[in-house]
Chain A
């Protein structure tokens, strides 16, 4: 069974640009969540989608947005990039969402560098 796939693996952008990251979940998983990981802050939750609906949102500015398609694939967009947006962006999928105890299956992330 294929794991969670994130593309691209690496990305370099300049300040002010916008970027779109893609995530393909494990087949059959309906929940996709996104995380930002930096050395200083660790992993921080961005948002979660379940069956194309945003279920949860972390404390990030509106420049960070996402969506989920009917095939459960998800995209994350960051507009007006800032230097502080440089981070590893991780996507995770799971069978369920909300109150269950489904383990998260992470992709290997997209390393975004903003110059």
Chain B
């Protein structure tokens, strides 16, 4: 069964600190891996998209890494801000011929405090 598992489930950090969120997947064949940020009461917003040939991609203070051999990805947030408080969702795209199917992790809920 294709799965995407994220850890930790939740995390509390102080403003200004860095943190790393983990995503392990068993989806195969793999097309791309995406990270989304979802604020409470809003729809998810795309942070990064990586194909299997990419091993790092940045978007401002967000840096995603991908190890396709071990099927692991991480999202590193640098110098956290209060506005980073949100759920972060890892999504893996399964390629099936002409279509792709997305498998979602259940997310990591990040809270940034003063």
Interface string of A38-79 (1 = CB under 8 A from B): 000111110010000001101000000000000000000000
B106 at the interface (CB under 8 A from A): yes
In the complex, what residues of A have CB within 8 A of residue B105's CB? Answer: 42
Interface string of B83-105 (1 = CB under 8 A from A): 00000010100010011111111
B7 at the interface (CB under 8 A from A): no
In the assembled complex, how far is the CB of residue B10 from the closest CB belonging to chain A, in whole angstroms?
13
In the assembled complex, how far is the CB of residue A19 from the closest CB belonging to chain B, in whole angstroms?
19
In the complex, what residues of A have CB within 8 A of residue B60's CB? Answer: none
- Whole-angstrom CA separation of A42 from B99 in the bound complex: 22
Chain A interface size band reads 20 to 34
Known: A42-B105, A101-B32. A106 touches B51 (CB 8 A): no
Main secondary structure of the interface of B (DSSP, over half): strand
Residue tally, chain B, CB below 8 Å to A: 25
- Whole-angstrom CA separation of A92 from B31 in the bound complex: 19
Looking at the complex, which one of A35, A42, A104 makes contact with B46 (CB distance below 8 Å)?
A: A104
In the complex, what residues of A have CB within 8 A of residue B103's CB? Answer: 45
In the complex, what residues of B have CB within 8 A of residue A98's CB? Answer: 98-100
In the complex, what residues of A have CB within 8 A of residue B34's CB? Answer: 103-104
Interface string of A11-50 (1 = CB under 8 A from B): 0000000000000000000000001000001111100100
B68 at the interface (CB under 8 A from A): no
- Whole-angstrom CA separation of A105 from B34 in the bound complex: 12
- Whole-angstrom CA separation of A58 from B99 in the bound complex: 12
Are the C-beta atoms of A108 and B89 separated by less than 8 Å?
A: no
- Whole-angstrom CA separation of A97 from B41 in the bound complex: 26
Are the C-beta atoms of B104 and A101 separated by less than 8 Å?
A: no
In the complex, what residues of B have CB within 8 A of residue A81's CB? Answer: none
- Whole-angstrom CA separation of A98 from B101 in the bound complex: 8
In the complex, what residues of A have CB within 8 A of residue B31's CB? Answer: 99, 101
Q: Interface on B for A, CB 8 Å cutoff?
A: 31-32, 34, 36, 41-46, 49, 51, 89, 91, 95, 98-107
Q: Known pairs A42-B89, A43-B44, A101-B31; list 12 more (Cβ under 8 Å).
A: A41-B106, A45-B101, A56-B101, A92-B43, A98-B99, A99-B95, A101-B32, A103-B46, A105-B46, A106-B36, A107-B43, A108-B41
